[in-house]
Amino acid sequence: MKCLGLKVLLILLMFGIDARAGDRITIAAASDLRYALNDIVSLFQQQYPSAGIDVIFGSSGKITTQIVNGAPYDIFFSADVEFPKRLHRDGLTATEPSVYAIGRIVLWSKRHNASVMTLHDLVDPSIRRIAIAQPMHAPYGQRAKEALMAVGIWNDIQSKLVFAENIASAAQMTESEAADAGIIALSLALFPDLARHGYHLIDDALHQPLTQGYVITKYGKDNSLAHEFARFMTQEAAITIMEHYGFVLPGRHP
Amino acid sequence: MFNLAPSDIIAIQLTLKLGLYTTCILLVIGTPLAWWLANGRSSLRIAVQSVVALPLVLPPTVLGFYLLLLLGPRGWVGSTLEAMGFTHLAFTFTGILIGSVFYSMPFAIQPLYQAFSSLGRRHVEVAASLGAGPIDRFFTVILPLTRGGFIVAATLSFAHTLGEFGAILMIGGSIPGRTKVLSVLIYDHAEAMNYAGAHKLSILLLSIAFIVLFIVYAVNRRFDSIRP
């Protein structure tokens, strides 16, 4: 019982103590960056071997809510610049939101050859389940919904839709064949495991652009490594990786 | 197959730490509470018992949602701590620990309540009449006679904490080394299509869950058979 008392004491001592080592950053990123950002972070760590970097992926809307509720994230890479803008208006950021890439959505399937499909094929009875990200808080889901509405099949395929918490989750649902087809990020469809299957690039005239923006949060304001990483993202090496994953960089043409 | 990545090891350590702390706290606060529920005379008991059992029926997200609102910088607890110069508790280990204590509480209280109820007040009253003080009564009479209940309460709260997901994800985010426990890491691995990674950790949790339930049933059987 003595050890219990000690433990309780230790826990009480822990209250409010939030150790923050100097050379550490926590990056919160939209799930479409899952593979691209991991590559960029490894490259960054070659240059800064002592840097400790944690990356947390999620839907941009969810991450925004977490930051509003005090999540200890230094940088936020959103799939839609509107979310960092909202944080900026609420005074929760240290920098102006800035655009780092334009994303694209694709139709992808493991079961069918998506490269010869169009959105209209989703009406076909052989497609029973279609995965998209949750339009409410995931920008890629919102764009998927817009595209499906623009081609006029949103109502017809309502009963087939399954909603993933974020876009990587939608890709995973489709990859596991739990969904026959999915509308996912081009950056995920280009990941080697998924790239073995074809994809159909959805016309970007069918939806609002996926203007992706990042911001350094108020929490990361004095973290020099966070500013360093933001600068690194604008350098050629990082841009090459982003373009490799199908992102269009601001001011550059595909 | 068990060559685990460093991030897996960190999550395992964190999960065990969370389980251990939660169990210790629950035994400390659960024992007097369960005793009062079993032997008290207050009419409030039924209400308290219902509150304690809430996590059994509520979605963990409801608990996580309210704790996030309460412990975050805008919440009542979080803002008070901030005003006192501390940091708020959302997305911290302390935050998920508080969540786990609430979430696993019925699994500690219920076995203790059962044990204390079947023990009744008689033994304690006899011990008291022979001059044993409250502490003495607890360690020499209650604890030995109800140790089966304690073992079940401890193993179940520990195991249930390992399996916690929704509430932790909401209060904790998924920050490596601080709030990214095994169940959250498995979700993350699956989402990254790292099935091998998800598989390894899932097998681990599956084995622990089986072992814990095995212990619980073995203990129950043993103490049932020796009870008069």
Q: Is the dihedral of CA B90, B94, B100, B103 positive or negative?
A: negative
Q: What is the pLDDT of residues A84-121, one digit of tens each?
A: 999 999 999 999 999 999 999 999 999 999 999 999 99
Q: Examine the pLDDT at A19 and tell me if it is beyond 60.
A: no
Q: Using CA atoms, how far apart are residues B12 and A196, in angstroms rounded to an integer?
A: 34
- Position B123 scores a pLDDT of 86
Q: What is the pLDDT of residues B82-104, one digit of tens each?
A: 899 888 999 999 999 999 999 99
Judging contacts by C-beta atoms under 8 Å, the chain A residues touching residue B157 are none
Please check whether residue A114 is in contact with residue A126, taking contact to mean a CB–CB distance below 8 angstroms. no
Q: Which of B89, B175, B191 sits opposite A169 (nearest CB)?
A: B191
Judging contacts by C-beta atoms under 8 Å, the chain B residues touching residue A57 are 188, 191
Cα dist from A144 to A55, A67, A115, whole Å: 25, 25, 17
Q: What percent of chain A has pLDDT over 90?
A: 87
Q: What is the pLDDT of residues A28-70, one digit of tens each?
A: 999 999 999 999 999 999 999 999 999 999 999 999 999 999 9
pTM score of the predicted model: 0.83
- Position B134 scores a pLDDT of 86
- Position A16 scores a pLDDT of 39
The ranges of chain B with pLDDT < 50 are: 228
- Position A4 scores a pLDDT of 53
- Which residues in chain B (114-143) have CB-CB distances under 8 A to chain A? none
- Position A7 scores a pLDDT of 53
Lateral strand order in the sheet of A161-164: A161-164, A130-133, A181-185, A105-108, A199-201
Chain B touched by A26 (CB under 8 Å)? yes
- Position B122 scores a pLDDT of 85
- Position B202 scores a pLDDT of 95
Q: Which of B85, B93, B192 sits opposite A34 (nearest CB)?
A: B192
Please check whether residue A220 is in contact with residue A137, taking contact to mean a CB–CB distance below 8 angstroms. no
Q: Which of A7, A56, A69 sits opposite B68 (nearest CB)?
A: A69
